[in-house]
Each structure stands twice: as structure tokens, then as C-alpha cells.
């Protein structure tokens, strides 16, 4: 039985264009810091990819700093700006929350409503010396956040603004200037590139301190020989992204949700009242633990997840849902179903049938 992969928010399958670019870079070899022909060729590969990533979010190539992934980019934004105070949303990815709480500086968490949207007014205490951080799209619920509004309010108070756009890029149009932020995080593997490579977009005039030091690569902001093959794959994936293609995914997702609600009208789809990523569903099956649902669906040949997939395989209550005001029971009973460009109607049929079967079995035992 083929597995229906419905965990695209965890990682998207590698695009053919990315694989081809990576193989070409691996075969070519060369260190992009070397000045001989092989080194210059590797440098051209890196810079070609940099231009493609820049185009994805409508910035200049010089604003793109390649990193070892979204987590490293978030850390560079937080530690590199050396703020005196942090205000971050309570629904941020652990890559932001853990970094923020590892500092000695004061950290304020901005809460979200039951609909999954952060209260922008909670950031109004920002001022000079403050870094505020708000994701563009939540990785668990898919709910889109008012980043542009936050940025305008926070920067009027003299604060710097960071946005984790890892889940949004490639799924919706992302324009750095339109958002009005100072720093923006991207990750290759969420949009069909390889794992282990990301980028921090930096507004002109922002001075950053590197979080790792060495040979001075990436304009001194990220020491270490560049992952040329990974960067090449990132660039190719970025160039292949077409947010408009998610219109069909949107229809599949909405039809799936309607069918699940027909089976179990009492279930909750978190954030359904707000604009969301077209591919994301976070749904609660009352009385059934998320890990039970994930395992049952896995046995049925369906790959889904419980909350974020970046917790070393641990299934924990979703901090996103508790930050939205839902109780721990709800947070322990929610799974995330996330679709992608190759998801088929047949896979949705299989998901609905398996989910409905599990729901019926659990109800018959009550």
C-alpha cells in the first residue's frame, strides 16, 4: 500500500528541479571561496540561487544571507540584533520561542485569540531596543497573521520587526517591502528544496552580529563553507514556486473539511473562521489522543502529524492551541493535515475513510 503523504508542513517532497540543481552542484564540486575556475563556478551557483531566493520575496540579492535552516535564521535574527527586550507571539515556532527564552533579556509573549490570530495591541509596549517577532502563517493551524499591521505599529515605536515566513513562502505571495519588516526567515525544505538550508532576509541598514565565526562567509554573518548543493536546490525550488497553484489545493482541503464535519459535526477545525494557508487543516477528534490518531492513520497508509514536526518525534500538547485559549484536552486531541501540489482526490478519499473509521470505532466503545 502506497503511503499518502499529507504532512507537507513538516517537509515538502524534493522538487525535481531542486534535485537536478543539487546533483549538478555536487558533480561540479569547488569551494565558492576559492579563486580558481572551479571555485568561481561554485560561487556563480551560489549567487544564481541567491538571486532566485531574493526574487521569491521581492528583495535584492545582497539582502539574502544563507543559513543552515530556518532555525538558524531565527537565531541569527534574535541574537544578531542584540535587542534589549523581546516581544514574540505565543504561537511562534519553537525555533523562535526557545531562542527567545534562552536569553537573559526580558521576553513578553503576545497571546492569540481562539481564532488563531495574534492580538497586535499586545505588541504596543515595543520601543527602541525591542525586537518583535511574529510569524506570517502558523505552522499548525495555517492561520495568517497581521504582520504588516504589526510592523507599522512596532516600527512607529522604534522597534525592529522579525517575521518567520517559513510556512508561508511558496504557498502565498510574500513581499518583504509590503510586509514592512526588518528581518524575514525562509527555509528551503518547506517549499520543495532540501533540508538543512535556509535564509535570513535583512533590510538594508540593519547591523547584525554573527552567531558563529570563522572564515567570514555570507558577508561575515554566517561563517563556514557554503552548502553549495543545498543552496542550489533552494534556489531551484524557489524559482519553481507558484502560489497560484494552491487554488486547487484549497478546493481539496475545503472539500475534505466538509466531509469530515459531515461525519462528526461536533469536531473542531481550528482557525477555520480566519484566512489560512490553502493546504492546512488542524482538527480535533474529541476523546482521541493525537498520537492515537497519527498511529491509526499511519497504519492505514496516511502520513499526518500532531502539531509541529520539529520536536524530536515527541507528541506533546500543542502550545499553539493552548496559547489560543483552548484547554489541554483539545491541545492533546488535535492533528494537522497538510496538503501539497501533488496531493490527489484519491488521497483525500483515503484520509476521510480512515479518519471516519477511527471516529466510528472510538464512538462504539464509549
Report CA-CA distances (Å) from 202 to 137, 180, 340: 19, 12, 29
* Backbone φ and ψ of 275, nearest 5°: -60, 130
Name, in order, each residue with C-beta under 8 angstroms of 353's C-beta and a sequence gap of 6 or more. Answer: none
Sign of the C-alpha dihedral computed for residues 264, 266, 268 and 274 taken in this order: positive
Cβ neighbours of 259 (radius 10 Å): 16
Name, in order, each residue with C-beta under 8 angstroms of 121's C-beta and a sequence gap of 6 or more. Answer: none
Is 95:319 a contact under the CB 8 Å cutoff?
no
Rounded Cα distance between 17 and 234, Å, is 10
3-state secondary structure 309-358: CCCCCCCCCCHHHHHCCCCHHHHHCEEEEECCCCCCHHHHHHHHHHHHHH
Rounded Cα distance between 100 and 113, Å, is 22
Q: Which of 124, 122, 103, 102 lies closest to 111 in space, CA to CA? A: 122
β partners of residue 169:
172
The beta-strand segments (E) located in 80-213 are 85-89, 107-110, 130-133, 160-164, 183-187, 198-202
Go through 94-104 and write b for each residue having 16 or more CB atoms within 10 A of its CB, e for each that does not: ebbbebbeeee
Which residue numbers are catalytic?
310
Residue 201 grid cell? 532576509
Work out the angle between the directed axes of helices 290-299 and 345-364 (0-180°, nearest 10).
120
Instruction: Scan for cell 538594508, then name that residue.
Output: 204
Amino acid at each position: 500500500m502506497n503511503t499518502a503523504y499529507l504532512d507537507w508542513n513538516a517537509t515538502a517532497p524534493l522538487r525535481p528541479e531542486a534535485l537536478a540543481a543539487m546533483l549538478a552542484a555536487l558533480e561540479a564540486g569547488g569551494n565558492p571561496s576559492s579563486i580558481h575556475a572551479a571555485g568561481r563556478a561554485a560561487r556563480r551557483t551560489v549567487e544564481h540561487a541567491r538571486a532566485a531566493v531574493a526574487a521569491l520575496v521581492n528583495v535584492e540579492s545582497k539582502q539574502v544571507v544563507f543559513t543552515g535552516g530556518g532555525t538558524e535564521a531565527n537565531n541569527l535574527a534574535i541574537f544578531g540584533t542584540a535587542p534589549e527586550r523581546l516581544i514574540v507571539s505565543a504561537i511562534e515556532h519553537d525555533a523562535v520561542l526557545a531562542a527567545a527564552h534562552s536569553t537573559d533579556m526580558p521576553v513578553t509573549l503576545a497571546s492569540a485569540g481562539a481564532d488563531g490570530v495574534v492580538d497586535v495591541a499586545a505588541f504596543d509596549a515595543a520601543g527602541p531596543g525591542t525586537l518583535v517577532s511574529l510569524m506570517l502563517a502558523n505552522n499548525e493551524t495555517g492561520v495568517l497573521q497581521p504582520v504588516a499591521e504589526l510592523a507599522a505599529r512596532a516600527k512607529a515605536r522604534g522597534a525592529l520587526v522579525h517575521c518567520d515566513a517559513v510556512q508561508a513562502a511558496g504557498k502565498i505571495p510574500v513581499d518583504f517591502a509590503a510586509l514592512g519588516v526588518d528581518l524575514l526567515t525562509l527555509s528551503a525544505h518547506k517549499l520543495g528544496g532540501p533540508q538543512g538550508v535556509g535564509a535570513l532576509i535583512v533590510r538594508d541598514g540593519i547591523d547584525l552580529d554573527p552567531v558563529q565565526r570563522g572564515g567570514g562567509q555570507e558577508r561575515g554573518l554566517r561563517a563556514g563553507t557554503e552548502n553549495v548543493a543545498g543552496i542550489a536546490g533552494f534556489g531551484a525550488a524557489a524559482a519553481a514556486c507558484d502560489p497560484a497553484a494552491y487554488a486547487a489545493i484549497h478546493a481539496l482541503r475545503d472539500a475534505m473539511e466538509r466531509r469530515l464535519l459531515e461525519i462528526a459535526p461536533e469536531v473542531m477545525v481550528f482557525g477555520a473562521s480566519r484566512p489560512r494557508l490553502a493546504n492546512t487543516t488542524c482538527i480535533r477528534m474529541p476523546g482521541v489522543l493525537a498520537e492515537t490518531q497519527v498511529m491509526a492513520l499511519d497504519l492505514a497508509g496516511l502520513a499526518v502529524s500532531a502539531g509541529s514536526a520539529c520536536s524530536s518525534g515527541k507528541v506533546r500538547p500543542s502550545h499553539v492551541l493552548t496559547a489560543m485559549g483552548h484547554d489541554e484536552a483539545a491541545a492533546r486531541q488535535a492533528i494537522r493535515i497538510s496538503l501539497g501540489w501533488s496531493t490527489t482526490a484519491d488521497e483525500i478519499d483515503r484520509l476521510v475513510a480512515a479518519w471516519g473509521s477511527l471516529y466510528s470505532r472510538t464512538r462504539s466503545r464509549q
